[in-house]
Structure 1
Amino acid sequence: MITTIGYALSGLIAAAIIFIGARFIVAPRVAAAGYGVPADPGQQAVSAYLNVKGVRDIASGLIVIILMVAGATHLLGWMLVAATVIPVADAVIVHRNGGAKSISLGVHGATAVVMLVTAALLLLS
């Protein structure tokens, strides 16, 4: 039961980050605003960074899926623990750049908590 819940949450995490990554590529202005630090993708350098973020988010989601398919439950749990640094850093970045606390804590902070809970479920299974 614990493993099933851990895998279900992992699947949701993977799907969400792949969606977010695709949005950074397809609709970068909307994605940047949702991240908490609006950016103008009309500037070539900004556009490049938004695309990099998108590709890295998609790759992160695919790593989760690969570990799920491989049945590497504990490895997936440890990977999620390590990857929790991403939403924590995102929260700090949003906060330090004048973003809304609701996004900093409500989006990025909540993501970190969900990732840690999911990791704990996988590691306890």
Structure 2
Amino acid sequence: MIQIGYVLSGLIAAAILFLGARFWSAPAAASAAFGIAGSPPPSTGLTAWLSVKGTRDIASGLFVILLMTNGPPRLLGEFMLVASLIAFGDMATVLRSGGSRALAFGMHGLTGLVIVATGACLILGAP
């Protein structure tokens, strides 16, 4: 179980780092793919806010890597459970904005469930 948790954690960290970098390098495309209905056209202010989100995503991915390399599996698992709130919050934001239900549940909700399952693998498999 621990190995599965670590593999999933690594994949999640890589995905979060990719998404964070995308909000820096292609903010309009990243914003459109997020799923919020009625997103404004790119502007200096919006691009700045999207860079803030990208920075936080990159830091979140690095936190996962830090815990994978230096922390016990249980701590990584607990972190993942807490981090799942980000994905579920994103899902709620997309739904609240009138965005795509399929995207809200299919991307953000499913991501949250995978993160919960990853945390459970690490916690249940920890000595």
96-105 vs 110-119, which deviates more? 96-105
TM-score (norm. length: structure 2): 0.93
Following the alignment from structure 1 to structure 2, what is the Cα–Cα distance between the partners of residues 16 and 39? 25
Q: Counterpart of 1:9?
A: 8
Q: Deviations over 1:74-125 (max 9, x none)?
A: 1110001111110111001111112101110000000000000000000011
CA displacement, residues 27-74 of structure 1 (integer Å, 9 cap, x when unaligned): 111111111124422x22211110000000000000000100114211
Structure 1 residues 1-125: aligned runs within 5 Å? 2-37=1-36, 38-41=39-42, 43-125=43-125
Please report the TM-score for the alignment, with normalisation by the length of structure 1.
Answer: 0.94
Gap runs ≥5 in structure 1: none
In 1, Cα distance between equivalents of 2:123 and 2:96: 33
> Do the aligned partners of residues 39 and 65 (structure 1) sit closer, same or farther apart at CA in structure 2, a change above 3 Å counting?
farther
The percent identity for this pair of structures is 48
Q: Which amino acid in structure 2 is aligned with residue 123 of structure 1?
A: I
Secondary structure in 2 aligned to 1:51?
Answer: helix
List alignment gaps of at least 5 residues for structure 2: none
Deviates more, 1:64-73 or 1:108-117: 64-73
Deviates further, 65-74 or 108-117: 65-74
> Contact 1:24–1:31 at 8 Å: present in 2 too?
yes
Greater RCO, 1 or 2 (C-alpha within 8 Å, sep 6+): 2
**More divergent stretch after superposition (96-105 vs 111-120):** 96-105
RMSD of aligned alpha carbons: 1.0
Contact 1:24 1:54 in 2 (8 A): yes
